[in-house]
Chain A
Amino acid sequence: MEPLDLELEEGELELPSEPMHLNMGPAHPAMHGTVRCVLELSGETIMKADVQIGYLHRGFEKMCERGTWAQVFPYADRLNYVSPMLNNVGYALAVEKLCGIEVPERCQWYRMALGELARISDHLTCTGAMAMELGAFTPFLWFVKARDMIWDILEEETGARLTHSFGRIGGMAAPPTDAFKELCKGSLERVVTLMEEGESMLLKNRIFLDRLEGIGQISGEEAVALSWTGPCLRASGVPYDVRRAYPYLKYDEVEFDVPVGTNGDNLDRFLVRLQEIRQSRRIIEQVIEKMADDGPINAYAPGVMLPEKHDVYTTIEATIQHFKLVMEGAKVPKGEVYSYTEGGNGELGFYLVSDGSGTPYRVRIRPPCYPIVGGLQKLITGRMLSDIIPTFGSLNMIGGECDH
């Protein structure tokens, strides 16, 4: 660990003259995502703050540049690990853009439904954890109970609760299960009920509100200048949502509102996330209406899609296809692409460069919470020490995607 920069002036004799230096994190329980804040305190007021990231750095981008294009999916899962499906789909869309592939309509609806489920789970985790860190353990348990219901659906669909690796270039690993629509209908109702119960406990709580209202305020202009996106930017009153501004998949065919805040404080970020859960539910309900019950889920792209396992074992053509794709990787056309989607925290971008081989030449990610954490210092300087907890919590920093 690097030493604190004390900058003490030795000649001064005033008492008490030394500012207090405090090391918050990277192992502090409230600094989830492993962030270190080096603070200079005067009493309990933060005079200076130095936010340091990088404690969860795995070299994600370089890891991706070793394997084949398809082998990036498990890495993408571990970016924003509270909403892996959004990362999976974001990466798949980027590669498909480079290959010029469009997945069938059914797949597009399916991706939207799974993505919105992941968004709900992301927001429930963030808001729940934030409440817990302020001492409200009950709402956290309720939120996590609701999140578990979402994960049950995802487990039913993908076989995994957290890291699904379910996306594929040109489609998904499997079509929706027969129970998918019923599961969504049944669970979403209860998820929102649980969320509302938790919400009602918090929004009438004086202690909770006092620690959120007017704290960690940022204006729309400042947030844009920091290149914030997602719920944090919308809480400051800027209605930028990739799903609305640059619709992908079928987002232009569903109705939903983009909730915005007015003050850009912790409370607004909290409320925007809760509103977005309701909007996601709306989207999923429409998707269920519109998604066909049968039809292809994968694009016809033999150059990138793996063949059916049954065919691999029985026909030479599929064996060859499987062999070439697994051993050499799908040959993605030479070129570069920037593709962006609305992730749990905002604009999740992938910049990919292909040299025409089976291995990505360059994978560059634009993680939404990287610029957001960049603004933390500004939010907490001049505030009380205890304000760090709700402010940091409301930003939803996720180390997996921030440290790249």
Chain B
Amino acid sequence: MPSFKLDGKPIPFEPGESIIAAARKAGVEIPHYCWHPGLSAPANCRMCLVEIKPPAGQRPIQLDVLSLDPKSGEYTYQPKPKLQPACQYPAVDGQEVLSDSSSHVGDARKAVQELLLLNHPVDCPICDQSGECKLQDYWLEHQKTQKRMRDEPIHKPKAVVFGPTIVYDAERCVMCTRCIRFMEEVAKDPVLDMRERGNLNEIMVAPGRQLDGNYTLMTEHVCPVGALTATDFRFKARVWFLRSVKSVCQGCATACNAWLDYDPRNNAVYRYRPRENAEVNKFWMCDPGMLSYKRAHEGRITEPRIAGKTTTVAKALESAKQHFEGVPREAIAIVFHARYSNEDNWALKELALTLLGTRMFYRSGGAPGTGDDILINADKNSNTAGVNQLAPSARPFADLLADIKKGAVTHAIALGGATPGEPETDLAELRNLKGLVTISAHDGPLTKAAAVVLPAASWAEAGGTYTNAKGLRQISEKAIEPAGSSQPAWKFLAELGKTLGVVPSWSKLKDIRARLLAVEMPSQPDVSAQAE
């Protein structure tokens, strides 16, 4: 692999790669605003300028410029090399690049930084970006001086509504054009552009349009400063109080990697941020996905219920036991759910196989929606592939409703609340069950029809693995503490097993993870499949 030297450190690169991209891969950050690894390189912010030594035998590109000699206090001519943007300049084998070690580069960064802050408003105390702003970070790293301009800064429009999700502040904008390029190159909807020149520059939405579609929130996330803010997150939290966990988006079967930001002080989730994964979502996420963090708090079931009335866990378990007394095993259906983790579904299957001995497997999940060719999958469940893999014999939800109608199924243990069909009709059919025990985090037809409901922890409140449409198993970490009496579904399944009179084979998440590894791709015969 060819390599070049950055400040003396060898950096390998793929032919055609830019200096900044190769350095980023090697873990060295060259400061930048406009460059983004997933977008084109316009080289307009000038923050990533580096000094490139000429190849042996060649004359350096340089000019003699007047500069102050601090010793003599006089202005003398000093050679100054022509600096190059690392985001556009391709890496060349054997090339010598100076970044932090060059005083010219340091001066250039300082100057760029001073100019970017020249007309910047004193907004940090009221800016949502404060605490994760590149302008703040780079001031401390590369500038550390006051501005020399004494004039009143230029004033530009503030709080311009770009669309239903994004608000723009032109004064804070550094004109990196990342949002423009994102809309054009990734969202394929070139609705943003720039108008005016110099310090009157500002971002605008195409006349007659607004910034809408499924990928508007990404413009806020690519914005290196606080110019674009999300209506949803605006003034909701200060980022230094938030903690992040590696989560997996539950919005659709793509299962984008995300950071789930939460505040441990009030146990609340505040937002999703895209997490880089070249295999799944690269750097992006869609709007519905990013807003799906709200499901951690909305439509939740946090206390057990018997026939719709809130009760205690002990009473709910006792009631579940009574419901299953004397019921023939063949009449008990097991309903898996594609919005629950592999661990939860595995525990349900284990309970069914070892404790009840039933073979009546069905699968449920949320209703399908529309997809696109960027990220969004029409399957709105995060773990469809995982459920199919765990229980290949599970029949579709429609079969369950048919079996209920026939009277073949009278009782059921189900995970999750949502069903794939019309909620009203599904609910009416499910009400014909004599005993339905549902373990669910969210309300839905399966919980409304249930005789007993146990409150499961949501994906944000428990660790779990989810298999996406491509068959990738991804771990989502626990962020907040389970609300109310809820706890992970696999724990409730273990307790349900105990109540029904047997010792469950799992007690820790670790146990299940180890057993899950044994569940391989469909090539390996499934136990339940063999039995059929």
- Beta-carbon contacts under 8 Å, A303-340 to B: 303, 311, 313-321, 323-324, 327, 331
The residues of B that contact A319 with a CB separation of less than 8 Å are: 122, 124-125
Residues of B within 8 A of A313 (CB): 122
Residue in A316, A317, A327 whose CB lies within 8 Å of B121: A316
Whether B146 pairs with A317 at a CB distance below 8 angstroms is yes
Q: Across the interface, do A316 and B140 meet the contact criterion of CB distance under 8 Å?
A: no
Docked complex Cα distance between A314 and B152 (Å): 11
A356 within 8 Å of B (CB atoms): no
If the complex has contacts A323-B130, A327-B131, A327-B240, are A315 and B136 also in contact, measured as CB distance less than 8 A? no
B residues less than 8 Å from A303 (CB atoms): 140, 144
Q: How far is B289's CA from A253's CA once the two chains are assembled, in angstroms?
A: 69
**Besides A303-B144, A315-B147, A323-B136, 7 other CB < 8 A contacts?**
A303-B140, A315-B122, A319-B122, A320-B139, A320-B140, A321-B140, A323-B130
Q: At the interface, yes or no: A302 with Cβ under 8 Å from chain B? A: yes
Residues of A within 8 A of B125 (CB): 319
- Which residue from B135, B140, B143, B146 sits with its C-beta under 8 Å from A315? B146
Q: Which of A318, A324, A331 has the most CB of B within 10 A?
A: A324
Interface string of B104-128 (1 = CB under 8 A from A): 0000000000000100111111000
Can you list 15 A-B pairs, Cβ within 8 angstroms, ordered by A? Answer: A302-B145, A303-B140, A303-B144, A314-B122, A315-B146, A315-B147, A316-B124, A317-B145, A318-B146, A320-B117, A320-B124, A320-B136, A323-B124, A323-B130, A324-B136
What is the bound-complex CA distance between A316 and B117, given in angstroms? 7
Complex: chain B residue closest to A314, CB-CB: B122
**B131 pairs with A316, CB closer than 8 A:** no
Pairs of residues from A and B, 7 with the lowest C-beta to C-beta distance, nearest first: A302-B144, A316-B120, A320-B139, A319-B124, A320-B136, A324-B140, A317-B146
Interface residues of B in 125-178 (CB under 8 A from A): 125, 130-131, 135-136, 139-140, 143-147
A321 touches B122 (CB 8 A): no
Contacts of B117 in A (CB 8 A): 316-317, 320
Known contacts: A302-B144, A303-B144. The answer to whether A317 contacts B139 by CB under 8 A is yes
Interface core residue of B123, B125, B139 (most chain A CB under 10 Å): B139
Q: In the complex, which of the residues A311, A321, A327, A331 contacts B139, with contact meaning CB atoms closer than 8 Å?
A: A321
Least CB distance from A170 to B in Å reads 13
**CA of A311 to CA of B124 in the docked complex: distance in angstroms?**
13
For the complex, give the distance between the alpha carbons of A396 and B230 in Å.
Answer: 61
Q: Are A316 and B122 in contact (CB under 8 A)?
A: yes
Chain A's nearest CB lies how many Å from the CB of B113? 9
Contact with A along B54-84 (1 / 0, CB 8 A): 0000000000000000000000000000000
Q: List chain A residues, Cβ under 8 A from B120.
A: 316
Q: Which residue of chain A has the shortest Cβ distance to B118 in the bound complex?
A: A316
* Residue on B nearest A302 in the bound complex, by CB: B144
Cβ contacts under 8 Å, B124 to chain A: 316, 319-320, 323
Please, how many angstroms separate the alpha-carbon atoms of A324 and B240 in the complex?
Answer: 11
Considering only CB atoms, which chain A residue lies closest to B144 in the complex?
Answer: A302
CA distance A315 to B143 in the complex (A): 14
- Interface size, chain A (Cβ < 8 Å): 16
CB-contact partner of B146 in A311, A327, A331, under 8 A: A311
Q: How far is the CA of A327 from the CA of B140 in the complex (A)?
A: 13
> Given the complex, which residues of A lie within 8 Å of B136, measured CB to CB?
320, 323-324
Please tell me if the beta carbons of B140 and A317 are within 8 angstroms of each other in the complex.
no
C-alpha spacing A324/B137, complex, angstroms: 8
Give the CA-CA distance A107 to B375 in the complex, in Å.
61
Residue of B nearest to A301 (CB): B144
Does A320 contact B146, Cβ atoms closer than 8 Å? no
Quick one: closest A residue to B131, CB to CB?
Answer: A327
Instruction: Collect the chain B residues with CB atoms within 8 Å of residue A318's CB.
Output: 146
Interchain CA distance A317-B123 in the complex, whole Å: 11
Q: For residue A302, which residues in chain B have a CB less than 8 angstroms away from its CB? A: 140, 144-145
Closest to B136 in A: A320
- Name the distance in Å between A49's Cβ and chain B's nearest Cβ: 50
CB distance from A76 to the nearest CB of B (A): 25
- Closest chain A residue to B147, Cβ basis: A317
Query: Is B240 within 8 A of A317, CB to CB?
Result: no
Q: Which residue of A lies closest to B120 (CB)?
A: A316
Cα A321 to Cα B146 with chains together (Å): 10
- The residue of chain B having its C-beta at the shortest distance from the C-beta of A323 within the complex is B124
What is the chain B residue whose CB lies nearest that of A307?
A: B146
- Please measure, in the bound complex, the distance between the C-alpha atom of A313 and the C-alpha atom of B126, giving whole angstroms: 13
Most buried by A among B121, B122, B123, B135: B122
Q: When the two chains form their complex, are residues A320 and B135 in contact, meaning their CB atoms are under 8 A apart? A: yes
Which chain B positions have C-beta within 8 A of A311? 146
Please measure, in the bound complex, the distance between the C-alpha atom of A318 and the C-alpha atom of B125, giving whole angstroms. Answer: 12
Task: Write out the residue numbers on chain B whose beta carbons fall within 8 Å of the beta carbon of A315.
Answer: 122, 146-147
Which residues in window 156-200 of A have CB below 8 A to B?
Answer: none
Hey, which chain A residues are within 8 Å of B139, CB to CB? 317, 320-321, 324
Q: How far is the CA of A311 from the CA of B135 in the complex (A)?
A: 17
Give the complex CA separation of A302 and B140 in angstroms.
8
**Nearest Cβ distance between residue B227 and chain A, in whole angstroms?**
14
Cα A303 to Cα B146 with chains together (Å): 13
B135 contacts across to A, CB distance below 8 A: 320
Could you tell me which residues of chain A, from 46 to 71, have a CB within 8 Å of some CB in chain B? none
User: With A and B bound together, what is the CA distance between A264 and B306 in angstroms?
Assistant: 83
A303: shortest Cβ distance to chain B, in Å?
6
In the assembly, what is the distance between CA of A303 and CA of B145, in Å? 10
Residues of B within 8 A of A324 (CB): 136, 139-140
In chain A, residues 190-235, which have Cβ atoms closer than 8 Å to a Cβ of chain B?
Answer: none
Q: How far is the CA of A302 from the CA of B281 in the complex (A)?
A: 40
* Chain B positions 275 through 293: 1 when the CB is less than 8 Å from some CB of chain A, otherwise 0: 0000000000000000000
Smallest Cβ-Cβ distance to B149: which chain A residue: A315
A313 to B143, CA, bound (A): 19
Chain B residues 346-405 with CB under 8 Å of chain A are none
Q: Which residues of B, 235-257, contact A by the 8 Å Cβ criterion?
A: 240
Considering only CB atoms, which chain A residue lies closest to B119 in the complex?
A316
Q: Which residue of A lies closest to B116 (CB)?
A: A316
Q: Give bound CA distance, A313 to B140, whole Å.
A: 18
Contact in complex: A317, B143 (CB < 8 Å): yes
Give the shortest distance, in Å, between A197 (CB) and chain B (any CB).
Answer: 54
A52 to B135, CA, bound (A): 54
A317 contact set on B, CB distance < 8 A: 117, 139, 143, 145-147
B41-63 interface (Cβ within 8 A of A): none
Please report the C-alpha to C-alpha distance between residue A316 and residue B119 in the assembled complex, in whole angstroms: 9
As a 0/1 sequence over residues 494 to 505 of chain B, the CB contacts with chain A under 8 angstroms (1 = contact) are 000000000000
By a CB distance below 8 angstroms, the chain B residues around A327 are 131, 240
What A residues does B131 contact at CB under 8 A? Answer: 323, 327
Kindly provide the distance from the CB of A143 to the nearest chain B CB, expressed in whole angstroms.
48
When distances are taken between beta carbons in the complex, the residues of chain B under 8 Å from A316 are 117, 120-124, 147
In the bound assembly, the distance between CA atoms of A34 and B145 in angstroms comes to 50
**Please, which residues of chain A bring their CB within 8 A of the CB of B140?**
302-303, 320-321, 324, 331
Interface centre among A314, A316, A327, by most chain B C-beta atoms within 10 angstroms, is A316
Closest chain-B Cβ to A315's Cβ sits at a distance in Å of 6
What A residues does B130 contact at CB under 8 A?
Answer: 323
Q: Which A residues touch B240, using CB under 8 A?
A: 327
CA distance A203 to B183 in the complex (A): 89
Of residues 255 to 285 in A, which have CB atoms within 8 Å of B's CB atoms? Answer: none
| A319, B129: Cα distance in complex, Å | 14
How near does chain B come to A19, taking the closest CB pair, in angstroms?
57
Q: How far is the CA of A321 from the CA of B145 in the complex (A)?
A: 9
Closest CB of chain A to B244's CB: distance in Å? 16
Closest residue on chain A to residue B125 by CB atoms: A319
Distance to closest chain B CB from A342 (angstroms): 34
Interface string of A326-370 (1 = CB under 8 A from B): 010001000000000000000000000000000000000000000
Q: Quick one: which of B117, B124, B135 has the most chain A CB within 10 A?
A: B124
Q: Which residues of B contact A320 (CB under 8 A)?
A: 117, 124, 135-136, 139-140
Tell me the bound Cα distance from A314 to B123 in angstroms: 10
Residues of A within 8 A of B121 (CB): 316
| Distance from B274 Cβ to chain A, minimum over Cβ atoms (Å) | 24
| Chain B residue at minimal CB-CB distance from A317 | B146
- Min Cβ gap B174→A in Å is 12
